[in-house]
């Protein structure tokens, strides 16, 4: 039955689904690989660990600050143009170290790459809001499959960059990544993507911003706050599991196994979202996902075996992997015509800001009081989030 549901899903918009996944996988390979290459270059060429962290973080700096403006840009000119211009920005950034290989150029590459990829993924996700589906719930499955491609490329990118650096050096690594983005850019001309003309014609003028809409609507505000808690739990797990493992003397292999189990869980749930979304509405999925997340964070400090830790990591992966697609689907459904990009941009900005500030807070609390309070705080927040998602479901039924 699961296979039959997937077949029906791809029968709805096979060209658009495969087009977005194909172009996005190639683009995301360079993002995941570029971060590794930039931080390694900083470490190996006189930079400190702090400088390596700066090089890594610059990929997320501009998206954290400019995602809302990126979303408005997408609403004005359409997603296809933004996707292609973003790929050009990434190509230019990656080509710079091939010509001038030094630390300032690497930092510029990270900044351009982060801006290009952030605007690209926003536009790719907005494409989903313009696609027609027989049932609105199928949009969640489409978003899940788009992010499934990103999960695959997150594994391929760092491995590919590592091989290129070891065998041919950093110039070849950045040059290879630039060629991959060029392949993504050329592929975008060979596949069907929304052109945005219809959306530009519908875009409202002079109306309230999405920020004002969100803070004037309790239901919309609930969606965006829950989006921040998804990012909070995701970053909390990836940051605190190594901290917990280090405190307990676990090997890097064990810590890596737990994080890999989490990645497998996100992959599995995103693969199943086309089937799951036809049986469970977004709010219900979020309520269940947050409840699972709360349970995992309550149990993580108590888990003493590597197998149990990996099992909890996999369960959290199932919960976390379902969060963002359902949040985006609710946002697209709530946004008026011509505001999908701005709505997604606001979500991206809030998530990136949480990603920039959250680990610092977790580290400070962990230094003062140990790792356990961090896990318990996140567990309590996710418990409240599950209750809020249930309230959202009740409100949605009343409104319907």
pLDDT in tens, 295-346: 999 999 888 888 898 899 899 999 988 888 888 888 888 777 667 778 888 8
Q: Assess whether pLDDT exceeds 80 at residue 130.
A: no
**Are the C-beta atoms of residues 285 and 384 closer than 8 Å to each other?**
no
Q: Assess whether pLDDT exceeds 60 at residue 202.
A: no
**Are the C-beta atoms of residues 330 and 393 closer than 8 Å to each other?**
no
Q: What is the distance, to the nearest Å, from the Cα of residue 392 to the centroid of all Cα atoms in its chain?
A: 23
336 DSSP assignment: P
Q: Assess whether pLDDT exceeds 80 at residue 98.
A: yes
Q: Which residues of 141-160 are buried (b: 16+ CB within 10 A; e: fewer)?
A: bbbbbbbbbbbebbeebbeb
- pLDDT at position 219: 84
Fold of 208-400: Growth Hormone; Chain: A; (1.20.1250)
Q: Which CATH superfamily is domain 12-199 in?
A: MFS general substrate transporter like domains (1.20.1250.20)
The pTM assigned to this predicted structure is 0.76
Alpha helices per DSSP H over the chain: 2-12, 14-44, 49-77, 79-99, 103-129, 138-168, 170-187, 197-202, 210-216, 218-247, 252-276, 282-299, 306-334, 340-369, 371-399
pLDDT category of residue 132 using cuts at 50, 70 and 90: low
Q: Assess whether pLDDT exceeds 80 at residue 95.
A: yes
Q: What is the DSSP annotation of 146-176?
A: HHHHHHHHHHHHHHHHHHHHHHH-HHHHHHH
- pLDDT at position 330: 86
d(CA 57, CA 61): 6
One fold for 12-199 and 208-400:
yes
Q: Which of the two residues, 218 and 192, has the higher pLDDT score?
A: 218
Provide the residue ranges of all domains of the chain, joining segments of one domain with +: 12-199, 208-400
305 DSSP assignment: S
**Are the C-beta atoms of residues 111 and 62 closer than 8 Å to each other?**
yes
What torsion do the CA atoms of 282, 25, 344, 195 make, to the nearest 10 degrees?
A: -110
**Are the C-beta atoms of residues 72 and 123 closer than 8 Å to each other?**
no
């Amino acid at each position: 039955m699961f296979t039959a549901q997937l077949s029906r899903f791809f029968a709805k918009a096979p060209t658009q689904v495969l087009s977005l996944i194909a172009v996005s996988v190639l683009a995301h390979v360079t993002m995941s690989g570029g971060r590794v290459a930039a931080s390694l270059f900083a470490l190996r060429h006189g930079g400190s660990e702090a400088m390596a962290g700066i090089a890594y973080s610059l990929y997320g700096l501009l998206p954290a600050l400019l995602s809302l403006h990126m979303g408005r840009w997408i609403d004005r000119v359409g997603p296809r143009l933004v996707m292609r211009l973003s790929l050009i920005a990434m190509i230019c950034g990656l080509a710079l170290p091939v010509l001038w290989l030094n630390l300032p150029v690497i930092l510029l590459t990270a900044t351009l790459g982060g801006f290009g990829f952030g605007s690209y993924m926003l536009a790719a996700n907005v494409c989903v809001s313009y696609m027609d589906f027989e049932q609105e719930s199928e949009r969640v499955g489409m978003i899940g499959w788009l992010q499934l491609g990103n999960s695959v490329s997150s594994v391929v990118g760092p491995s590919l960059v590592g091989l290129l650096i070891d065998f041919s050096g950093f110039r070849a690594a950045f040059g290879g990544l630039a060629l991959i983005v060029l392949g993504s850019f050329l592929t975008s001309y060979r596949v069907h993507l929304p052109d945005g003309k219809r959306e530009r014609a519908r875009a409202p003028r002079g109306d309230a911003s999405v920020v004002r809409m969100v803070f004037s609507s309790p239901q919309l505000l609930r969606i965006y706050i829950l989006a921040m808690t998804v990012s909070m739990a995701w970053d909390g797990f990836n940051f605190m599991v190594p901290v917990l493992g280090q405190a307990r003397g676990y090997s890097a292999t064990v810590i890596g196994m737990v994080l890999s189990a989490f990645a497998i869980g996100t992959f599995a749930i995103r693969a199943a979202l086309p089937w799951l979304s036809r049986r469970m509405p977004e709010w219900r999925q979020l309520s269940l996902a947050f409840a699972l997340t709360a349970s995992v964070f309550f149990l993580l400090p108590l888990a003493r075996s590597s197998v149990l830790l990996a099992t909890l990591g996999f369960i959290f992966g199932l919960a976390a992997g379902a969060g963002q697609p359902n949040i985006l689907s609710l946002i697209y459904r709530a946004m008026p015509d011509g505001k999908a990009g701005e709505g997604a941009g606001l979500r991206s900005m809030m998530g990136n800001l949480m990603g920039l500030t959250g680990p610092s807070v977790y580290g400070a609390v962990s230094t003062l009081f140990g790792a356990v309070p961090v896990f318990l705080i996140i567990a309590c927040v996710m418990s409240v989030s599950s209750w809020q998602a249930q309230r959202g479901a009740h409100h949605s039924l009343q409104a319907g």
